Chain A
Amino acid sequence: MKRRILDSLNRQKNALSLLASLLGEEFSYLRQGNPQAVSGIELSVQDLLRQITSERVEMKSMIQAVAPGAARLTAFIQTLPEAERPEVAALLEELDRREQNCATLAAKNFELALALHDQSRKLLTFLHGKINPEQKETYTARGKFPKTKRGAAILQGRL
């Protein structure tokens, strides 16, 4: 069981490494302004995250089998022989480092995607502003205020 837990930790370590490279690739696609490629890679990222999550759920049940009542990996480390603990602790430290790296990369991707979205939205808002009549309240030919829609519409106008 202990072996399987260690294998799971190693798999997670490699998965996080893969995740980091996928996020890096996603960042480069975002920089190139290639939304199709971003969508493709985002699907892979989500699938990898799902796999890491299921790996962790499985590992948690294994930990509880080894150390009943233990919720965290630190409790599992205590069940190991003294000589093996530093190696596992180093593995955990590496996992944490990679996870933080992935979090930083994901935050960067999020920030850039959001900025690009905001920029496009700003341009669209400007365009809408230009299309919309500036004055909302004007008299119609029949001498009364029409109820105008605030947004732009194809079939409505004041012609």
Chain B
Amino acid sequence: MRLHEYQAKSVFADAGIPTPDATLASSVEEVVEAAEDIGYPVAVKAQVHVGGRGKAGGIKLAESKAEAEEAAESIIGMDLKGYHVERVLVEEAVDFKNELYVGVTMDRGEGKPVAMVSTKGGVDIESVAEETPEAIAREHIDPAFGMHHYQARKAVYDAGVPRELASDVASVLQTMYQLWDDRDASEVEINPLMVTEDDEIIAADAVMNIDDDALFRQQELAEMEEETFEDDLERKAGEYGFDYVRLSGNVGIIGNGAGLVMTTLDLVDYYGGEPANFLDIGGGAKAERVANALDMVFSDENVDAVVFNIFGGITRGDEVAKGINSALEQFDEIPKPVVVRLAGTNAEEGREILNDELVTVEETLEDAVQRTVEYSEEEAQ
């Protein structure tokens, strides 16, 4: 789960990290009111889960009421990389002389959290990491002990942060690690951490991502979740609880297990088709879940044919077959051809149950995919 900037900033501020004065607004009037309260110049920032907001026109500086109105009008309601902007953060624009980067994330290679500091903040930190990795100081943290204060100081000195700022930046870093640990974060980041003319530091942006698997014990954060989806299908997938990714092709793909579903996508591509989606029904799915999956893929108007690829371990072929039958029997006419491949646990029972007037049954993965690609080509004509 990803927190919005305004949410992450409030978590950071509560923990004692300095953040600019800011107010959330959802109309031009509210933006102007907030800007007058805070005092110009202000930054008007779209609150959507999109990287590179500034470049995409989602962040604007306003030095006057007229500019604040103009910024609000252009940002509120805009479409930012597929997301509709409904709210903006109106924030004191801080005068700064330097921009730092501080963050904590999981180094999966090491299986340990890693704290990072760089004096090359503000710009695209990913390209800094790629082009000049030595410009980012890294300190691995033992999760059993937490971050020692010396580690925070070491990272700050290694990064070359000026001595007069070192103590303040180290304390921000240690607070961030504490938040990372307490809140089950997968990522906390401030980019940029601005340094003012008076050598004050202030978090000009804030990123906080929470491990979805730990939300059960992070109730307060879980309640902040505001579902945002790129389209209605992704919304539907959220309601049904599927791992679903929409793609640009016309072959609908349903399977069990992430690795096998990805492989099915790859095979569709290999045999000349184009995947319309990734849909993993997960392990041990019952008939209703299978029917929901078909409902989802049928409601994607780009889909011309559907392949069902099930290799049951924990999932049972007979349950899957019942789900497919019950989903298809509702139709007078099946909207799109469906090819089914069942293997593994109770696959034979499943194949006996399957109504083969409604679906095409194939024995092997290769045959199932090729047949589906053929159907999709016929339907597309």
B and A form one assembly: no
The interface of chain B, by Cβ under 8 A from chain A, is none
